[in-house]
Structure 1
Amino acid sequence: MANNAVKLPEFWEAQAEVWFAQAKAQFQLRRITGDASRYYHVVAALGPSTAARVVCLHNAEEFLKSSSYDCAPQKLITMEHSSSALILVDEQLEISDDIVVTEGEQVTLICRYKGNDSVSQVTWRFLAAAPLPPPEPRPPPLALATLSPLYGSNFAVPFDGRATFEGSQGPIGPSGGRDGTLHLSEARRADGGTYICVFTLFPRGGLRAGLELQVLVPPQISAFQANPAPVSPSLSSDSQFSHKTFTPALAAICEAWGARPPSTIHWRLSTILERLVAQPNLGHSPVVSPQSSPGGPLWVSRSELWLQPNRTAHGQNATCVVSHPALITDVEKEVNLRVLYAPEVRVEGYDGSWYVNGPGGKLHCMVDSNPPPSVFTWTRMNDTLPAGVRLHNATLDLLAPLTPELAGTYQCHVDNGVGEGQAGIQVNIEALESSAADQLAFPVRLLSLPFAVALPAFFIILCLFLPVALWFRRRRQRRRHGHCASDNDVYFDGFTTAPPPPISRVPPSLKPHNTDGDRFMIVYPSPGRGDTVSLAAIPPVCSPGEREPQRHDMFCAMGGLSSHHVPLSLPQRHELSQSAGSLRH
């Protein structure tokens, strides 16, 4: 190994050609033929100022076998660690800095000659990035595009239709332009790598310059619940969050794949979930792995959220936040966590006031579990279920009327596949005591009191109102069917049960001596007295010539202004009777 040791002098930037000649001689004398060995010896000999201005172009073998023009004393300007070659860049070429674009964007690769020599041809060469990180080798160089005065522009198949020369707007050559700028209408993920611009000059030869193009590829993102879901152990209290109590479980996963460069992922959690994170950094540092792809590897970032399984985490939202240079803003994906846990059971419905002959009651089995139970089992402690109950899954009906046999401790038992749970309640059916009966009857008495008062009052009012109503009805009928009174008209008692007798002419012998001729007399038989009549004088509301009742003859049926009781002799009664009889016929 001592005989093969090579100690190259520091690179002579001012005399690069001489320095390379000495380096080749050293390699031949020490029998160092490996490309990688010679390449690393050259890189080790670069001084600080030179190494900062070196760019990768060819592989080591091509670099060391370069022609005198390639190894001419030209200025080295940059360096790329991921490639295995160096580029000699002449300072007379103007070239773009390294370019970073997003997939689908336009790209402009600037390369212009600033000298006075005649340009014979412009060539772009493409050295694609390795599909996987080192030590994966890079593909061989590709002649991407050429531009010449004789043949115009030509492009390789991967770039044909997307690439154009800016210099193609005018001829190049002795009198033409010196611009070899290349335009790509759409950057593809396979376009990532090193681009070498070569100007062929006459009579000087070739000048080279290179740049790196990085094509950003945005990630595909997904976030989802872990399967199977974590299972929470049965606890006496869910408020316990001891890190030593539980075994961490995978709760959610967030992935960002197909990205270049790798994505960064972090989780935004609620306060409850922050207390349950198994480890401070677990779930916040994604695992990154490469995928082979032309133009450079694509990366998969995966972040797992591990929690202490606890039922309080069920239904909580964990937000996965993904950042990437190709994304304008961070992308957030929300995951609703699902945690399985055994049932917690309680029985409700009994209020402590169920009595014999009561209206019945219901007991409800209230369950908190995930998944929910599908089967409920009801039992009575130390006894079978009585005949007076009915089962409806989570409800137990105690049928009316309640009896002392229905008393006991009822238990509800459930199973959801994760665990079991049960709860019970003591039900007492007590006899109704007198004080309790009075308390229960008091609302009933309050409700029945209005009916007890209203019913007799209704009948009393009915008994008082009905005769008065009938009396007014009979009077209306008499007014409607009667005649207007005249001094010769007689009306009989309208209060008798028999139909009212027809109008009778007043005998002249019965007319009072003190009545005026313009008044009309109405004769009523005196009640209880068969030998007298009552003569009542009323206002003359009907004209003397009217003999038929009118709509305004209500005063004809009203009491008179004065009345006279006239004794009847036998001849007078007979005359009055004949007068009434003649009208009936």
Structure 2
Amino acid sequence: MEREDGWKCQEIIRVFSLVALLTLQGAASQQVKVDPEVMSYPSQTVTLRCAFPDAGGMELTQVSWIYEPKDGQRSNIAVFHPTHGVNYPPSPLIGRVSFLTPTTLQNPSIQISDVQMTDEGKYICEYATYPSGNEQGITSLVMLAKPGNSATTVTVVAPPVAAGAQPVVVARCISADGRPAAQITWVTAVNGNATSVSTAGANNTVTITSQYTLVPTPVDNGKDISCVVIHRTQAKPEIFPMNLAIEFLPQVVIVGYDNNWYMGRTNVVLTCQAVANPIPTTVTWKTISGEMPETVQINGNVLTVLKVDELVNTTFICEVTNRLGTGKNQVSVMVREPSAISSNAGVVAGAVIGCLLALLVVAAIIAILVTRSRRQQQGYHSNPSHGSIDKKLRIFGAGKKASKNGTGAGGNGAGGNNNGPIYVYNDGPCQGLTEKPNQHAPLHLGGRGDEPVTTAQDILLSNELDEAERRKFDELEDEEERYDHFGVGGPILQLRPPHDQDGIMGGYLDDDMESQHDGSVISRTAVYV
């Protein structure tokens, strides 16, 4: 048991010592100062620096440079010993590698002239020290080669039917002989895929070829697509804008037929429009019967029918040809009867008649409004203040008809009855008789010399009363004449209206009544009922 325990302890100590040694070597290796990476172009001279600034009590005995290509064996390219001097062993770089002067163990930097693309790889600066052993630092030499970039589209033919068609290359972008390899991307709106292939070139260069593929269709022709190349030697990405080149058969459309070709219609036109790549070379018009109507004229892609007749009732075919083949389209014309014209004329005539009727209605409304306005402004001929036609007038003691001998009862002859007031019957909210002054009556009876009197003739002439009212006025005036003749040569009495028993009407006074020889009492003013 004791032996086993001792053996385990020895193993633990041995592992610990190994770890400690590796740690010390890692820490010591950091004392060799080199450039992690150096870039150069072909044919240039490159410097690889190395230094051991702080030995820390260690003795530096020798320094060596070792070349390790990316794919190959390691080889010494330069050695310096303080006693034995400089040595350049056989290597791919012999004759182009040398130490910088003055050469010391503390600064054993080297330079390589006329560098080649194959010189790319790792360069190790290794020190031999005592008692630590070898210490080293690694520099990577990166050779740069600016690539030659180019891009182009590939002209392809769109298949007749897209279903089942295979993708084809429509654009290609190349970054040739670059170091390191370039990165290529695509920018486009079309739906496709990009693939890239890397190929080793001369002198350790790389060529990148990228292709864009899709199933071509006519609508993709002319679409934008750009190739973008990114490389370490370029200050910014290089962009190549392009347009896709998709060839396809002519796509033909005939326009101009409005489905209203009637007998006798003139100068109707059909136009044959085509889209194609390459450009169409010929346009041909045909009919399904093989005979073109005599009234048809053809000028390139335009077909004109001078006058529509029965022969135009056919199918017109337009054929367009380009380098790939021929595309065509057709339109079937149906000739209609001339009734289409009359129906259109009827629509126009109806519109005109409707406009005229509307104008007549407007004119009639304006005429009615003007007539009503004039009537309201004029009123009765003898008294403009009476403009309302809602009033029914009753005249008491005025406006009698003229007698046959030329002297009316209301004139200057004997028995005149023009001194009494005029009463008006109002149909308004306040119904009843109202008194209107009489210009011929004395002032104490309510007469006004400055106002005209509305007579029965004025009312009849004003056309404001209906026929029944006119007859009634005629009867009243006849009755008035009888009263006037009855009083010829003597005074005429006035009777108080039945509804004015209280003496409201100022013109009817008790002293207006006059006794007669037969004992009766009669008013001086005639009475109309």
TM-score normalised by length of structure 2: 0.48
| Max Rg structure | 2
